[in-house]
Structure 1
């Protein structure tokens, strides 16, 4: 099985690319979905986060208040590192399990959709890395529109991640998302057809 690692910065359009690949028939291993599942109330990761951060990070129903937790840790590197130390090992283990399951099922290609593919070291387990690129100003505008946050907070979230230009050094293929949606879809479809036919 060929394993593709898909990554990009926050607001780069990676989720749109992942949705397009899924519509073309790609088997998607989504790290964000895995993270949400692991952080559900009662799960070991949820318990570890609660023990580390306490009642303020819980919503009224006992689930994590992900928005509040995100606002809290994005502005404080020490807290972000503490959260990552809880979440990342569990996510990596589940990603590897799902990749193994996809290979055993006979899937010819699987896409590992991971925002922190490079930072978390998961790029080492893939056959090639695809990086979705966008200009930082476009990233900030998308974050503001999507999450309803101010410009300062959007930039804070961008700066909390590895710069997109640095991720390009790891890329086997770069998906340029500085144009419109139609252009992005054309690029992604061409890439997928090349992979699906073994080019």
Structure 2
């Protein structure tokens, strides 16, 4: 039996870093964003071009052009999600089947909008990556090309951090540094391993 952890967190909270920590601990991770990147360069590109003409270059989606076409436009965003989400879910199902075949004790679904899309129902427990709002804001605005307007549009699509934390089974606070975050990840894995009669050290 594979215990399925849903990993999520708002922009700038450190979710990608936390996901890497699970991978480093030997836990298989399905990264929804990574899956989308691959689909944009392959299976989804022609469908996206058909729906949003001029958003692909050389057979691959130009993310900047696609973002301009859907940002702040709910109907267009819904159209994009109707194309991409079924493809991502199919890859996710293949990933989970492989985890079960290999006998993995735990696996992680790394999904930015897991709670917003009702995905918690397919997970055994939810891990929310969090940080204080001022830390989040500083991190995001330091990114190349990020503006106050873009940040506002992104946050408008995301569930407030306080609500995500309320729904979480486990929290990883990345504002305390990498070592502290790694300890929190190890603690989560200890809790999961304990369900199967196994223990691991949280160094």
TM-score computed with the length of structure 2 as normaliser? 0.86
In structure 1, the partner of 2:27 is 26
C-alpha distance in 1, partners of 2:132/2:65?
Answer: 27
* More moved, 114-123 vs 142-151: 142-151
Q: Once the 2 structures are TM-superposed, how far is the Cα of residue 50 of structure 1 from its aligned partner? A: 0.8
In structure 1, the partner of 2:51 is 52
Secondary structure at the counterpart of residue 25 of structure 1: coil
Is the Cα–Cα contact under 8 Å of residues 12 and 140 in structure 2 kept in the other structure? Answer: yes
In structure 1, the partner of 2:186 is 189
| Structure 1: segments with no counterpart, 5+ residues | none
RMSD between superposed Cα atoms in Å: 1.9
Answering whether residue 8 of structure 2 is matched by residue 7 of structure 1, we say yes
Answering whether residue 63 of structure 2 is matched by residue 66 of structure 1, we say yes
| Structure 2: segments with no counterpart, 5+ residues | none
Runs of 4+ in 1 over 6 A off after TM superposition: none
Q: Once the 2 structures are TM-superposed, how far is the Cα of residue 26 of structure 1 from its aligned partner? A: 0.8
Answering whether residue 147 of structure 2 is matched by residue 146 of structure 1, we say no
TM-score computed with the length of structure 1 as normaliser? 0.88
More contact order relative to length (CA 8 Å, sep ≥ 6): 1
Secondary structure at the counterpart of residue 146 of structure 1: coil
Aligned residue pairs total 195
Secondary structure at the counterpart of residue 96 of structure 1: helix
Answering whether residue 158 of structure 2 is matched by residue 157 of structure 1, we say no
Q: Report the CA distance shift for 1:138/1:73 in structure 2 as closer, same or farther (over 3 A).
A: farther
Secondary structure at the counterpart of residue 60 of structure 2: coil
